[in-house]
C-alpha cells in the first residue's frame, strides 16, 4: 500500500475503536542525561532530529458538531449590568427577564431585529452577542509515546537553558496549542523546565503535558484519566493510550473532585444553570455531549470559552465540542457507556 493508504488505514482503525499495534517506548536516550550544567549535547540534538514531533494524528475540527447550533450570549445592549427582557413575540409583550450573567441561548429563527431563542420567547437583536466555539481538538495516539507529549499553554519564547531568560526571537516563538515532545526535564530551584527542541527550554507552567498514568485497580476496557494539575485528559484501552487532549476543570471554590468514578448518564445536549442570584450566575442551553460521572459533575463540550489547559469551570470537565463528540461516540458502545473516569492530580496546584 502507498504511505497515504497506510496512514488512512491507521486512522480508520483508531476511529472504529480498534487498538493499533504500538511499538514499545524507546529507552531513555541522550536527552535524559542533560542537566542544568549540561543543557545540550550533539547526541541529544541528533535524537530530537530523529523524533522531531509526537507520533499522533491531529483530529480535525468537527464542523458538523460545531455547526449544529448557533450559540448566542444574552447581554443587555445598552447596559450590561441590567437584566435582559424576553418577549412573547417579535416586538410583543414582556414575559420574563434574565439576570446578568453567563447566559447562552440557541437561536431558532429571526424576524427583523428580533430573534426567537426558545419556543415562544423572543429577544432584541441588540441583546445578543454571537459566540464562536473553539476549533481546538485533541490527538489520536497511533503509537505509544516515546516522549511525553504536551501542548504549549500560552504564546511563549523559549530559554537557551533551564532557568534561563526567554530569548525574544521569532525562531523561538511557540504558539498556544502547538503540540510538542518533552525530551528532557531538569529541575531548577524546585521548578521543572522542559526541553522541547534543540536548545529550547520552557518553564513547566508554559505547557500542559499528557502524562501516562497506571490503570486503577478493577478498571478494564475503555476509560479516561483526567489530570487536574496538567489540565489534560487521556483516553485508554486497558493500558494503551489512544487519545489525548486539553481540558478545563473547576476553578478554586468549585474544584473538580479527585477519585474513581463511572459515567452514569449521557445526553447529546443538556441545559445547565447555577449560582442563581449571584454575580457568576450562568444558564447554558444545549450543552453538547454531556457525560455525568460525579453526581451533577460531567465531561461535556464547551462552546463559551477557548481556555483549554486552564481551570475555567464550576466543577465540570470542559472539553472542546470536537473532543466531547469524539469521547461521547467512543464511550457509546454498550460495554463502554459506564466507562471509568479517573480524576487525579500529578502535582500540587492552586
Burial annotation 211-243 (CB, 10 A radius, 16+ → b, else e): beeebeeebeebbbbbbbbbbbbbbbbeeebbb
Stated pTM of the model = 0.82
Q: What are the tens digits of pLDDT across the range 64-87?
A: 888 876 678 888 999 988 999 999
Return the residue matching grid coordinates 473547576. Answer: 250
Residue of 305, 301, 321, 307 lying closest to 154 (CA atoms): 307
- pLDDT above 60: residue 16: no
Rounded CA-CA distance 10/19 in Å is 10
Rounded CA-CA distance 271/73 in Å is 14
What is residue 43's three-state secondary structure? helix
Q: Enter the C-alpha cell of residue 168.
A: 525574544
Name which residue leads in pLDDT, 144 or 24.
144
Q: What are the tens digits of pLDDT across the range 270-326?
A: 665 444 444 444 456 678 899 999 999 999 998 878 999 999 888 999 999 999 999
Rounded CA-CA distance 207/45 in Å is 21
Angle at 130 between CA 126 and CA 133, to 5 degrees: 165
CB atoms within 10 A of CB 64: 9
Rounded CA-CA distance 213/229 in Å is 13
Mean pLDDT of the chain, nearest integer: 86
Rounded CA-CA distance 15/133 in Å is 23
- pLDDT above 50: residue 106: yes
pLDDT at res. 254? 85
In the chain, the domains with their CATH numbers are 3-61+136-210 (no CATH), 69-130 (2.30.30), 222-344 (2.40.440.10)
244 — phi, psi (to 5°)? -145, 145
pLDDT at res. 24? 33
Rounded CA-CA distance 154/156 in Å is 6
Amino acid at each position: 500500500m502507498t504511505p497515504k493508504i497506510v496512514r488512512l488505514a491507521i486512522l480508520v482503525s483508531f476511529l472504529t475503536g480498534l487498538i493499533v499495534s504500538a511499538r514499545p517506548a524507546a529507552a531513555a536516550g541522550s536527552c535524559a542525561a542533560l542537566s542544568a550544567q549540561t543543557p545540550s549535547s550533539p547526541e541529544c540534538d541528533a535524537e530530537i532530529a530523529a523524533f522531531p514531533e509526537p507520533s499522533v494524528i491531529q483530529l480535525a475540527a468537527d464542523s458538523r458538531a460545531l455547526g449544529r447550533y448557533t450559540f448566542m450570549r444574552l447581554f443587555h445592549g445598552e447596559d450590561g449590568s441590567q437584566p435582559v427582557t424576553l418577549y412573547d413575540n417579535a416586538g410583543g409583550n414582556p414575559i420574563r427577564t434574565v439576570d446578568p450573567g453567563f447566559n447562552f441561548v440557541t437561536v431558532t429563527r429571526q424576524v427583523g431585529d428580533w430573534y426567537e431563542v426558545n419556543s415562544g420567547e423572543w429577544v432584541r437583536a441588540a441583546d445578543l452577542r454571537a459566540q464562536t466555539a473553539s476549533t481546538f481538538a485533541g490527538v489520536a495516539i497511533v503509537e505509544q509515546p516515546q516522549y511525553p507529549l504536551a501542548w504549549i499553554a500560552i504564546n511563549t519564547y523559549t530559554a537557551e537553558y533551564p532557568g534561563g531568560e526567554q530569548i525574544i526571537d521569532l525562531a523561538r516563538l511557540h504558539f498556544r496549542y502547538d503540540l510538542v515532545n518533552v525530551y528532557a526535564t531538569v529541575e531548577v530551584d524546585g521548578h521543572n523546565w522542559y526541553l522541547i527542541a534543540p536548545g529550547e527550554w520552557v518553564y513547566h507552567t508554559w505547557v500542559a503535558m499528557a502524562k501516562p498514568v497506571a490503570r486503577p485497580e478493577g478498571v478494564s476496557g475503555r476509560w479516561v484519566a483526567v489530570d487536574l494539575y496538567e489540565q489534560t485528559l487521556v483516553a485508554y484501552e486497558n493500558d494503551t493510550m489512544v487519545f489525548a487532549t486539553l481540558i478545563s476543570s473547576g476553578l478554586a471554590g468549585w474544584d473538580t473532585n479527585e477519585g474513581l468514578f463511572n459515567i452514569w448518564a449521557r445526553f447529546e445536549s443538556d441545559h445547565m444553570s447555577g449560582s442563581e442570584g449571584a454575580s457568576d450566575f450562568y444558564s447554558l442551553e444545549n450543552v453538547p455531549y454531556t457525560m455525568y460521572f460525579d453526581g451533577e459533575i460531567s465531561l461535556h463540550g464547551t462552546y463559551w470559552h477557548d481556555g483549554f489547559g486552564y481551570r475555567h469551570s464550576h466543577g465540570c470537565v470542559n472539553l472542546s465540542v470536537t473532543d466531547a463528540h469524539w469521547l461521547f461516540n467512543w464511550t457509546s458502545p454498550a460495554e463502554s457507556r459506564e466507562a471509568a473516569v479517573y480524576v487525579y492530580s500529578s502535582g500540587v496546584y492552586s
